[in-house]
Amino acid sequence: MDNVLSGLNPEKVFHYFEEISSIPRPSGKCEMISDYIVSFAKEHGMECIRDDNMNVLIRKPSQKEDASWVIIQGHMDMVCEKSYDYEAKHDFTKDPLKLAVLDDYIYAKGTTLGADDGIAVAYMLSILSDDDPSLPSIEALFTADEEDGMRGAMAFDTSLLKGRKMINLDHEIEGELLTCSAGGKRVVSTVPVQYENVSGIGYSIVICGLTGGHSGMEIDKGRGNANLLLGRLLHNITKNMPFSLKYIGGGLTDTAIPREAKAEIIIDPSDVDTLETIVEKCSRIICDEFEGIEENMMIYAENKGVDEGLCLTAESKKNIGFLLNTMPDGIIKMSRKNDGLVRTSLNCGIMKLTEKDFSMIVNMRSLAESEKDALSDKIEYLTEMCGGTFSEEYDYPAWEYTSDSRLRKTAFEIYQKMFSKNPKLRGFHAGLECGVFFKKLEEVDIISFGPDINNIHTPKERLSISSSARMYEYLLEILKSI
């Protein structure tokens, strides 16, 4: 370990953050980080329970008599995205993150940082190692695979929990206390495809350099979806000239707005100038539409020379084009009660082509179960219109607002006292594990907050050092008051 964060305060928080950054922890592969947390518990002589889904629960009784149990909770896994020029340089299943510090921010070179939700894990480990006698009895719950349908939280046996006050540490804006969050669903549209042999001039059609971002947190920013923009571009080519589609793909995870997408096509040699003119014109139009939002977007066609191979039949290409150009995108509805809060949204996060089919993996979120289901039905209908099949991979509940939260009242008053201003009470469009525990754990009282983390789910992710310190002290004060 390089000790890049040595000297930063709180010292223990950043020590643990650097340690877990050296441990690969993509969604679906939480074994190593789960092992590390179990080892931590054993080294500190603490009660520890790990289930078959790699969730870890650590209990540390208070030194105070009759102290109540408080649950602190965060997830172990991280979204794994890397910059275009870093593609071959990092394996998220094997390599440690390469941390660096610039001014007040920690980042990872070429990749996501995993401060979502690595800073929560670091907070929790630091608190567990704290011998302060004024702390309450702590149940620290480290959940697996949050970024993949909250599978860890969904499978966790909540009868193991003694506490009924829960502090979730999976928020990314200092000064906000979350009061509710959206439910979510991941669906897959799959269309069968057939191929035929084609020869001509090969071209790569590329859209890259988009900002991307969290499909809940950043969906209201109007950022471009590379997958659907590529579908639009291919449709414009279809209207003006024939071509055969050899490959199409884009996006890395359904919870991130896709930053890059690529198609490989074969055209007649006589259409080279026409194709390049169409792509250049569409590039100008689309870049103008996203002026001030996607300043680094690039759209181009690269001539690959003479090419021959299997391409999609005309019918298969048509069905893919239909899905890409009718799929809903972005904000579907805004909240009528809370200004600026997205009520329902959709993100076409991944598209991929195989020998047998083309699939689109879609993430939808809503504060209303009925609207989420209606949107899912619409995608199912569109899929069936072009001879495809539709499936649901996960569906997690919303965290509903409760007006009489004593924990929220306590957290509000402590924030006022510490920072001489009110925290912002906010509903949240992104999904949180709070919804799962709200539904599964009777009479639980939940709050959620965290330090400033910018550009999560992108290689530009940044964690504020000073904000991390302030929010850790805030967390300690809340715990001591219980």
Beta bridge partners of 56: 50, 142
**CB-CB neighbours of 375 under 10 Å:** 22
**φ and ψ of 233, to 5 deg:** -65, -45
Considering 81, 117, 146, 170, which one is annotated as catalytic?
146
CB neighbour list of residue 473: distance below 8 Å, 6 or more residues apart: 10, 418
* CB-CB contact of 206 with 230 (8 Å): no
Query: What is the C-alpha to C-alpha distance for residues 150 and 221, in angstroms, rounded to an integer?
Result: 24
Q: Which of 18, 77, 174, 271 is catalytic?
A: 77
Non-local (6+) Cβ contacts of 14 within 8 A are 5, 8, 122, 465, 468
Compute CA distances 345 → 46, 75, 115, 255, 333, whole Å. 42, 23, 24, 12, 7
Q: At 349, list the tokens.
A: 């996060």
Nearest to 259, CA basis, from 207, 212, 206: 212
- The dihedrals phi and psi of 129, each to the nearest 5 degrees, come to -90, 0
What are the DSSP calls for 13-46, one per residue?
A: HHHHHHHHHTS--BTT--HHHHHHHHHHHHHTT-
Alpha-helix residue ranges (DSSP H) falling in 213-361:
226-240, 272-289, 314-326
Question: How far apart are alpha carbons 326 and 393 in whole angstroms?
Answer: 21
Catalytic residue flag (residue 146): yes
Q: Where are the alpha helices (DSSP H) in 95-208?
A: 115-128, 151-155
Give the C-alpha separation, 74 to 434, whole Å. Answer: 10
Q: Which of 189, 13, 219, 191 is CA-nearest to residue 106?
A: 13
- 441, 84 contact by CB (below 8 A): no
Could you give the residue numbers annotated as active site?
77, 146
